[in-house]
C-alpha cells in the first residue's frame, strides 16, 4: 500500500514538473521544409496509479479532457471543423441496428484491424515514417499499417476496399490533409459509431505542434449518418520505446466470456 | 526496481487520460470492476501473449478443492514498458492477486495488483 501511494505521488509530482518545464518546441522540418512527423507517437496510455480519473483530476498539469470516444487529451478545435458535432448522429435504421450489438460484435475482438481513425484510439504506440513522396504509419495495435501518398499518386480505387481505407495526402500549408476512402463497411467508427458502410470516408488533418501532433478527423457516411462529425485527439511522444510485435490471435481467449456491453 | 517503476510512472504520467481508451475489447463486457477479490495460490503457467497476457494460478477454494484461475492482464509490450521482466514470475511461485471477477462466474480475474514472493507489488492489468 505504501509503495502504491509512493508511486502515485511520484507520478503526480513528476508528471507535473515535466509538463511545467517543457518549453514550446519548434516544429522539426524535413530538408524540403515540410513539418517532420517522423518518430514514435501515442495518443493514450495506461495508469500505473489507481484509477485514471483520480490521477488526472489531482495532477497540476493534467492534459485537457479527452474528446468523447477518443483517447488522451483533446486537441484544440481548428477553424476548419470547429462547428461540427463530436458525436455521430445515426440514421434511424443504423440506430436500430446498433441497439442489438454487444461487445462481441466489435470487429477488433476477432483481431480485425480497427480502421481510421479508431486505430489512433488504441493504448499502444505507432511510428510515422515520412519521405517526400509518402508517409507510412506503422501501428503496433493489430499490426495495422497505412501508406499515405503525398506525391499526387492516384488512389488505389474502389475495387480494393479495406479495413484501413485508401489514403491520399496533400499539404495545406503546414497541415497534412489526408482523405481516406474505400472502406469495406466492416469497421466501427470512433465513439459509439458501431456501424459503417462502404460510403464511410474520413478527412484527417495532422498539425505538428512541436511536442505534439493535433489530430482531427471529419467523418462522413451518407448511408449511416445524418451528417458529418469530428473526432479529435492529441499525439504525444511516449517514453523511449519502439513499436513492437502484436500478434493478436495468439492469446485471444475471451470471446466466450464476453457477456456485457 | 522501485526506481525503475517511478521513472516509468513519471513518463507515462503525461499519457493519462480520463476517458477509457479503446482496447482490444471492453473489459466491462467481461469483468465487474465493482466486485473485487484477492486470491492466493501457486503459478501453474505464465503466458506472455497478445492481445492479453495470462497468469494461471492454482487456488484452494473454501472447501479445499483446487481451482485453476486465469488472471488476465496487459499485453506483454505494455508489461515490459511498465517495468516487468519475464524472469519475475515462474511456475511454482506463490502469489497474491487482487482483481475484478468475471461476470459469467468463470474462474477468470482481471488482475490488477500482484504481490510477488518478495512482497513486491506490481500491476498486471488495468483496474477496469
What are the tens digits of pLDDT across the range A191-200?
889 999 999 9
Q: Measured between alpha carbons, how far is B117 from B9 in angstroms, rounded to an integer?
A: 23
- C-beta of residue A142 within 8 angstroms of C-beta of residue B75: no
Which of A71-85, A150-164, A204-218 is least confident?
A71-85
pLDDT the model gives residue A76:
53
In B, residues 61-120, which contact A (CB 8 Å cutoff)? 70, 72, 74-75, 77-78, 80-82, 102-104, 106, 108, 113, 120
Kindly give, in sequence order, each residue whose CB lies less than 8 Å from that of residue B105, ignoring residues fewer than 6 positions away.
none
Taking contacts as CB-CB distances below 8 angstroms, the residues of chain B near A254 are 25, 30, 52, 72
B6, B17, B51 ranked by CB distance to A44: nearest:
B17
With CB atoms and an 8 Å threshold, state whether B49 touches A50. Answer: no
Please give the mean pLDDT across all residues of chain A.
81
pLDDT the model gives residue A78:
61
A233 touches chain B (CB under 8 A): no
Is residue B97's pLDDT more than 70? yes
Q: Nine-digit cell at A67?
A: 474528446
pLDDT band at B126 (very low <50, low <70, confident <90, very high): confident
- Decide which of A142 and A62 is more confident: A142
CA distance A218 to chain B (A): 19
With CB atoms and an 8 Å threshold, state whether A108 touches B75. Answer: no
B19 touches chain A (CB under 8 A): yes
| Mean pLDDT, rounded, for A124-130 | 96
pLDDT band at A255 (very low <50, low <70, confident <90, very high): confident
- pLDDT per residue as tens digits for the range B3-60: 444 334 434 433 433 334 556 777 888 999 999 999 999 999 999 999 999 999 999 9
pLDDT band at B101 (very low <50, low <70, confident <90, very high): very high
With CB atoms and an 8 Å threshold, state whether A248 touches B47. Answer: no
Taking contacts as CB-CB distances below 8 angstroms, the residues of chain B near A109 are 24-25
Parallel/antiparallel/unpaired status of strands B66-73 and B108-115: parallel
Q: Residue B43's beta-bridge partner residues?
A: B57
B9, B11, B75 ranked by CB distance to A49: nearest:
B9
pLDDT band at A57 (very low <50, low <70, confident <90, very high): very low
Q: Nine-digit cell at B42?
A: 501457486
pLDDT the model gives residue B127:
86
A155 touches chain B (CB under 8 A): no
CA distance B104 to chain A (A): 6
- pLDDT per residue as tens digits for the range A156-186: 777 789 999 999 999 999 999 999 999 999 9
Supply the ipTM of this predicted assembly: 0.75
Taking contacts as CB-CB distances below 8 angstroms, the residues of chain B near A118 are 22
B103, B113, B127 ranked by CB distance to A260: nearest:
B103
Q: Which residue has the cell 441496428?
A: A97
| Mean pLDDT, rounded, for A71-80 | 53
pLDDT the model gives residue A189:
96
Is residue A90's pLDDT more than 80? yes
pLDDT band at A134 (very low <50, low <70, confident <90, very high): very high
- pLDDT per residue as tens digits for the range A59-70: 233 333 333 333
Q: B75-98 burial by CB neighbour count: b if 16+ within 10 A, else e? A: bbbbbebbbbeeebbeeeeebbbb
Q: Measured between alpha carbons, how far is A135 from A160 in angstroms, rounded to an integer?
A: 20
A83 touches chain B (CB under 8 A): no
| Mean pLDDT, rounded, for B105-113 | 95
Q: Nine-digit cell at A225?
A: 449518418
B3 touches chain A (CB under 8 A): no
- Decide which of A7 and A124 is more confident: A124
A3, A236, A251 ranked by CB distance to B47: nearest:
A251
Taking contacts as CB-CB distances below 8 angstroms, the residues of chain A near B12 are 11, 45-48, 238-239
Is residue A138's pLDDT more than 50? yes
Which of A70-79, A160-169, A250-259, B81-90 is least confident?
A70-79
Residue ranges with strand state E in A64-210: 126-130, 134-139, 145-149, 166-172, 175-181, 201-208
pTM: 0.79
Alpha-carbon dihedral sign for residues B30, B60, B49, A15: positive
Amino acid at each position: 500500500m505504501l509503495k502504491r501511494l509512493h508511486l502515485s505521488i511520484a507520478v503526480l509530482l513528476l508528471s507535473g514538473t515535466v509538463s511545467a518545464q517543457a518549453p514550446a518546441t519548434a516544429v522539426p522540418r524535413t530538408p524540403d521544409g515540410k513539418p517532420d512527423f517522423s518518430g514514435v507517437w501515442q495518443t493514450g496510455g495506461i495508469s500505473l496509479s489507481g484509477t485514471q480519473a483520480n490521477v488526472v483530476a489531482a495532477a497540476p498539469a493534467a492534459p485537457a479532457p479527452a474528446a468523447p470516444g477518443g483517447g488522451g487529451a483533446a486537441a484544440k478545435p481548428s477553424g476548419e471543423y470547429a462547428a461540427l458535432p463530436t458525436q455521430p448522429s445515426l440514421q434511424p435504421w443504423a440506430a436500430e441496428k446498433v441497439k442489438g450489438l454487444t461487445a462481441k460484435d466489435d470487429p477488433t475482438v476477432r483481431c480485425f484491424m480497427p480502421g481510421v481513425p479508431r486505430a489512433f484510439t488504441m493504448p499502444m504506440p505507432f511510428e510515422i515514417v515520412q519521405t517526400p513522396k509518402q508517409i507510412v504509419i506503422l501501428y503496433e495495435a493489430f499490426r495495422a499499417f497505412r501508406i499515405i501518398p503525398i506525391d499526387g499518386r492516384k488512389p488505389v480505387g474502389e475495387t480494393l476496399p479495406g479495413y484501413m481505407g485508401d489514403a491520399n495526402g496533400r499539404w495545406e500549408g503546414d497541415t497534412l490533409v489526408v482523405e481516406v476512402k474505400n472502406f469495406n463497411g466492416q469497421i466501427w467508427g470512433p465513439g459509439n459509431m458501431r456501424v459503417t458502410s462502404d460510403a464511410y470516408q474520413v478527412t484527417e488533418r495532422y498539425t505538428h505542434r512541436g511536442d505534439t501532433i493535433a489530430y482531427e478527423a471529419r467523418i462522413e457516411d451518407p448511408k449511416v449518418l445524418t451528417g458529418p462529425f469530428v473526432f479529435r485527439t492529441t499525439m504525444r511522444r511516449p517514453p523511449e520505446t519502439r513499436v513492437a510485435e502484436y500478434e493478436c490471435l495468439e492469446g485471444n481467449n475471451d470471446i466466450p466470456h464476453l457477456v456485457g456491453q | 526496481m522501485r526506481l525503475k517503476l517511478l521513472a516509468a510512472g513519471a513518463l507515462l504520467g503525461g499519457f493519462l487520460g480520463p476517458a477509457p481508451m479503446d482496447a482490444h475489447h471492453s473489459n466491462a463486457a467481461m469483468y465487474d470492476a465493482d466486485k473485487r477479490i484477492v486470491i492466493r495460490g501457486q503459478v501453474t503457467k505464465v503466458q506472455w501473449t497478445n492481445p492479453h497476457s495470462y497468469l494461471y494460478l492454482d487456488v484452494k477454494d473454501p472447501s479445499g478443492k483446487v481451482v485453476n484461475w486465469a488472471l488476465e492482464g496487459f499485453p506483454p509490450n505494455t508489461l515490459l514498458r511498465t517495468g516487468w521482466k519475464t524472469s519475475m514470475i515462474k511456475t511454482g511461485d506463490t502469489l497474491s492477486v487482487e482483481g475484478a471477477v468475471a461476470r459469467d462466474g468463470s474462474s477468470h480475474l482481471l488482475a490488477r495488483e500482484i504481490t510477488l514472493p518478495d512482497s513486491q507489488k506490481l500491476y498486471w492489468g488495468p483496474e477496469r
